[in-house]
Structure 1
Amino acid sequence: MVEGEMADAEHAISAGELSITASVTDGIHVLAAAGEIDHQTGDILAHALEVSGATRPRVVVDLGHVTFMDSSGINILITAHNTLTEAGGWLRLAQPRPAVRRVLYLVGIDAVIDCHETLTQALTA
């Protein structure tokens, strides 16, 4: 979250090796993920990315504390991107660590989903 801004709502979800803290900043859903995103934990990310009922849903996934992501995570992000785009919204990724950034760039996610070095950049882009 940008320093000095208050979240409208915040709650944490965790499963196994992945935890997600969800908040809303200036109408943007921010999901701060920590741990590993793989076939065992991917459902928790997919569930957190469901922004039902929101008009033009805008979501930033903060990957700053994600240590590992496999193809399950990539598929979840692509599905969420498509769903949010169809609803008139968007998905952005923020501050992926080097190992996760490498996976994102190897599969070309950065050409499909906006990836930003910092959370502030993702929120204000």
Structure 2
Amino acid sequence: MTEGRKVDTGRAAPAGGLSVVATATDGIRVLTLTGEIDHHTGDQLRRALDVTGTARPRIVIDMSRVTFMDSTGVNILIAAYQAVSGAGGLIRLAGATDSVLYVLHIVGVDDIIECLPTLDEALAA
């Protein structure tokens, strides 16, 4: 059963924008991203990934609707991994498109953050 609060009620991101919808499933914060992650939209994702004051945060990021990600997104994900790990939690990525998965692989993010093909697999792992 899904419960939680929505950060952004929009499903479709405007051209060049990013939509972030936050829900919770079995105690795991699920962030569903739609659109582009770059220097224009990075702060929105950074805020959604803030785990300040959260003990043992568990986060799954559904990236199946991310159409573009540059180094801004890479840096945000690495910082989130460090913060979540430092708080004794876990973070996983789910459903990254081929182009985004290529970026994650080329810079080695997939070596430190578990990347799973589907949201269901990420939630079950």
TM-score by length of 1: 0.91
RMSD over aligned Cα atoms: 1.4
What residue is the counterpart of 1:59 in the other structure?
Answer: 59
What residue is the counterpart of 2:27 in the other structure?
Answer: 27
Q: Deviations for 1:55-87, whole angstroms, at most 9, x for unmatched residues?
A: 200001100000000000000000000000000
Does 2:23 align with 1:7?
no
The runs of at least 4 aligned residues of structure 1 exceeding 2 Å deviation read 12-16, 51-54
| Structure 2 residue matching 1:68: 3-state secondary structure | strand
1:54 offset after TM fit, Å?
A: 2.2
Does 2:94 align with 1:99?
no
Count of aligned pairs between the two proteins: 120
| Structure 2 residue matching 1:55: 3-state secondary structure | coil
Structure 2: 5+ residue stretches without partners:
none
1:8 offset after TM fit, Å?
A: 1.9
Compare 12-21 and 110-119 and name the one that shifted more: 12-21
Tell me the percent identity.
51
Compare 94-103 and 49-58 and name the one that shifted more: 49-58
Structure 1: 5+ residue stretches without partners:
1-5
